[in-house]
């Protein structure tokens, strides 16, 4: 299965994902993104990102090999479709953490993906989280909050919504979603049909 966690900037997607993987390190594979930006110190190709040049990335876009992609500050970021397909074909469950626009691209290409929307308890707490980062001006924070309002309205395109009021509670809810999806009768039926036919 393909699980996807997304939500507004500053909602804590990365924090929740890291806590989930720390709790269950071998249960899911984390989707590795591709980028055209240069590696930062300590980053390893194929572990942190697939580092590509602009021509390679654009060829993958044109060949339909990007599940989703976006361009930020003159660099491309995206998810190679081949890697996801290979993992799913091998029976592995893959977990993605991406922005809302990317999630909508995935929804269009992989209708059976399970989309989880991570919400802030309220917009004031989201503002506080963005301010605590200390990396952006008030103008940028205001723009991010405006975008967050628009993205929250898109929540109805998702399968589940989880409020990130406390990280451990949010992780527990995400884990519950994963467990429930794995127990759906139609998923189990496919493997049993193969056994019965064999």
pTM: 0.84
Dihedral sign of CA atoms 136, 20, 103, 46 in order: positive
- 173: annotated binding-site residue? no
Higher-scoring residue by pLDDT: 7, 124: 7
Do 138 and 146 touch, CB atoms closer than 8 A? Answer: no
Mark which of 59, 77, 92 sits at the end of a domain. 92
Average pLDDT on 23-50 reads 88
Cβ contacts of residue 6 below 8 Å, gap of 6+? 13, 97, 98, 99, 100, 102, 103, 115, 116, 117, 118, 158
- 31: annotated binding-site residue? no
Kindly state whether residues 77 and 122 are assigned to the same domain. Answer: no
Number of domains in the chain: 2
Rounded CA separation 117/94 (Å): 16
50 has a pLDDT exceeding 80: yes
2 has a pLDDT exceeding 90: yes
- 134: annotated binding-site residue? no
Do 60 and 34 touch, CB atoms closer than 8 A? Answer: yes
- 13: annotated binding-site residue? yes
Rounded CA separation 38/180 (Å): 39
Kindly state whether residues 119 and 105 are assigned to the same domain. Answer: yes
The residue range of the domain holding 73 is 32-92
- 7: annotated binding-site residue? yes
The average confidence (pLDDT) of the chain is: 89
Mark which of 40, 61, 92 sits at the end of a domain. 92
Do 96 and 2 touch, CB atoms closer than 8 A? Answer: yes
Kindly state whether residues 150 and 189 are assigned to the same domain. Answer: yes
Kindly state whether residues 163 and 128 are assigned to the same domain. Answer: yes
């Amino acid at each position: 299965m393909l699980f996807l966690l997304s939500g507004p900037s500053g909602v804590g997607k990365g924090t929740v994902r890291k806590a989930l993987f720390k709790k269950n390190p071998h249960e899911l594979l984390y989707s590795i993104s591709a980028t055209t930006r240069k590696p930062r110190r300590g980053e390893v190709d194929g572990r942190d990102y697939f580092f590509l040049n602009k021509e390679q990335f654009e060829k993958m876009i044109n060949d339909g090999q990007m599940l989703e992609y976006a361009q930020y500050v003159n660099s491309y970021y995206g998810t190679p479709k081949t890697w996801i397909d290979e993992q799913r074909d091998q029976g592995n469950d893959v977990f993605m953490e991406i922005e809302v626009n990317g999630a909508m691209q995935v929804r269009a290409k992989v209708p059976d993906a399970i989309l989880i929307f991570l919400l802030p308890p309220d917009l004031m707490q989201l503002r506080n989280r963005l301010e605590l980062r200390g990396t952006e001006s008030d103008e940028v924070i205001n723009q991010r909050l405006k975008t967050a309002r628009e993205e929250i309205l898109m929540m109805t395109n998702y399968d589940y919504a989880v409020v990130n009021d406390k990280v451990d509670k949010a992780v527990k809810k995400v884990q519950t979603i994963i467990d429930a999806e794995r127990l759906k009768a139609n998923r189990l039926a496919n493997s049993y049909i193969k056994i019965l036919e064999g």
